[in-house]
Amino acid sequence: MRDEIQKFTKNAADNYTETNDRVLDAVVDTNRKAVDFAVKTADQVAERIEQIDDLPEFKFADKVPTPAETGARYLDFVERAVEMNREFTQRMVERLLEVDAVAPVVEKPVAKKAPAKPAAKKPVAKKAPVSKTAAAS
């Protein structure tokens, strides 16, 4: 029985970890594609804006990150979030395995006291039948 529980726990933990990894990889890939698209689009817009001569100059424009820098920062953030989630999942799996390694506490059944028997009833004394002869007198 204990081996079956260990196998179940290990399989459940492995399945959870594998599924979590696949989902996170899909999220990272999707985000990466979205960011690449946004960066390319922003770069194209920036190139076209540079071609226009009549744009006013903005103060602090040099302090605003470029679209490529913004995309890179976003990817760094997503990668850190995925790594934190992966570490959390690994710790959870380790805890599950630790809990499974500890022998389960089996409580001894507590002996129940037998219910008290009702007090025995005293037999009611029967009256002696009255004889007919005595009643006739």
Closest of 78, 94, 89 to residue 21, by C-alpha: 89
pLDDT tens, position by position, 54-99: 666 777 777 888 888 888 898 899 899 999 988 998 888 888 887 7
pLDDT tens, position by position, 33-52: 988 888 888 888 888 877 77
How would residue 120 be classed by pLDDT, with cut points 50, 70 and 90? low
Contacts of 74 (CB under 8 A, 6+ apart): 31, 35
| Three-class SS of 68-106 | HHHHHHHHHHHHHHHHHHHHHHHHHHHHHHHHHHCCCCC
